[in-house]
Amino acid sequence: MAEREKQERARRSDAPASPRSELCARPSALEQYRVLLMKDLRQELRTKEMLVSMGIYALLVIVVFGVALSFARPGADFLEVSGGLLWALVVFTSLLGLNRSFSHETENGCLEGLLLAPLDRGVVFLAKATSNLAFLAIVEVIAVPLYWVFFSSFAAPAASAPLIVVPLLLGSVGIAGIGTLLSTITASTRGKDVMLALLFVPVVFPLLYACVSATTAALAGGVLMEEAFATSLALAAGYDVVMLLASWVLYDFVVS
């Protein structure tokens, strides 16, 4: 039995070394990752579809917040709410972007074209997650100062306010990671917009909770800052690591 297997293996390795054409040399995964990422960025730079729609959407959400808060009395209490509002803005905007990002891939069956190439599925995931992260970051860079401009009259944030960059970064990484997996799933379902929201919101709930806590702590400063900031960030980072790993492993099953 084992003998036969050995022969079988020998026969197989006898077969021509590779059916690959002379023209090609297998590129490294890093090179493929770079190529895929550049593709997403170039496409976006050309159409600006995602960035524009996400940016305008963020502005609209800010306007809605403005209405919602128009009868609130300005005061220090606002700082406790503002972290949460900021994250509501981020979540809704990223939902919009995630929905968009994968419709490019399914539009002409492009995803299949990528899968035909000798390409690790993890690379596809990482490239897509990176580009989603990049777009989300760009939108945040515009939306967060805007948010500050509109609402800074309510209450002056504590001196530690610039630290909100850290939870924003951790949150965006997690959102881009798990969001890429979930949007790949929902891209080929019926009613995909609703489906993505339905899956995405409960799954990112823990991350959201941790990030809101850290953001609020940074904005309010004081005791809250000392108590909650580090713990929240550690938990958010833990979530990122676990979920990114899980998404990376599970991605193969989603695309094939």
Partner 1 sequence: MAPEGKSPRLPEAGQWPDRVAPAALVAGIVLTTVGFLMAFLWVPPVGGASVGGAELIGDAMVSQKLLLSQKIFYFHMPVAITSFIALVFGAWYSLRFLRTREARYDTCARIALEITLLFIALTMITGEMWTRFEWGVWWSWEPRLTTYLVLMLVVIAYFVLRGSVDEPERRAAFSAVVAIIAFIDAPICFMVTRLIPSSIHPVVLREGGMSPEMGLCVAVVAAGMLCVAFALYRARFRQVRLAQRVEALKEELGD
Partner 2 sequence: MSAAPAAIRCEGVTKAFGTRKAVDDLSLELPRGAFLSVFGPNGAGKTTLLRMIATLTRPSAGRIEVEGVDAKEEPDRAREAIGLISHNPMLYPDLTAEENLLLYARLYGVRDPGARVIELLDAVGLKHRRLDRVRTFSRGMTQRVSIARALVNDPAVVLLDEPYSGLDPHAIEVFDDLIASVRQDRTFVMVSHDLEKGLRLADHVLVMARGRAVAFDPKDELDEDEFRALYRSTVGMGVA
Which residues sit at the interface with partner 2, rule CB under 8 A? 11-12, 14-16, 18-27, 31-32, 35-36, 39, 42-43, 46-47, 104, 107-110, 112-120, 256
202 binds partner 1 (CB under 8 A): yes
**For tokens 């524009």, what's the residue?**
52
**For tokens 């808060």, what's the residue?**
69
- Contact in structure between 117 and 253 (CB atoms under 8 Å): no
Q: Which does 42 bind (CB under 5 to 8 A by kind): partner 2, partner 1, none?
A: partner 2
Q: How many CA atoms lie within 13 A of 10 on its CB side?
A: 6
Q: Which does 198 bind (CB under 5 to 8 A by kind): partner 1, partner 2, none?
A: partner 1
Q: Residue 55 or 206: which CB sits closer to partner 1?
A: 206
Q: Residue 50 or 126: which CB sits closer to partner 1?
A: 126
Q: Which does 24 bind (CB under 5 to 8 A by kind): partner 2, partner 1, none?
A: partner 2
Separation between Cα atoms, residue 248 and residue 34, nearest integer Å? 17
Least distance to partner 2, CB of residue 101, Å: 13
The DSSP-derived string for 118-187 is S--HHHHHHHHHHHHHHHHHHHHHHHHHHHHHHHTTT-PPPTTGGGGHHHHHHHHHHHHHHHHHHHHHHH
Q: Which does 224 bind (CB under 5 to 8 A by kind): partner 2, partner 1, none?
A: partner 1
Separation between Cα atoms, residue 36 and residue 42, nearest integer Å? 10
Least distance to partner 2, CB of residue 36, Å: 8
Which amino acid, one-letter code, is at 9? Answer: R
Q: Residue 48 or 202: which CB sits closer to partner 2?
A: 48
Other C-beta atoms closer than 10 Å to the C-beta of 36 total: 20
DSSP state of 75: S
Least distance to partner 1, CB of residue 211, Å: 10
Sign of CA dihedral 157, 162, 163, 167: positive
Q: Which does 110 bind (CB under 5 to 8 A by kind): partner 1, partner 2, none?
A: partner 2
81 binds partner 1 (CB under 8 A): no
Other C-beta atoms closer than 10 Å to the C-beta of 156 total: 12
122 binds partner 1 (CB under 8 A): no
Least distance to partner 1, CB of residue 163, Å: 16
Least distance to partner 1, CB of residue 253, Å: 5
Q: Residue 27 or 206: which CB sits closer to partner 2?
A: 27
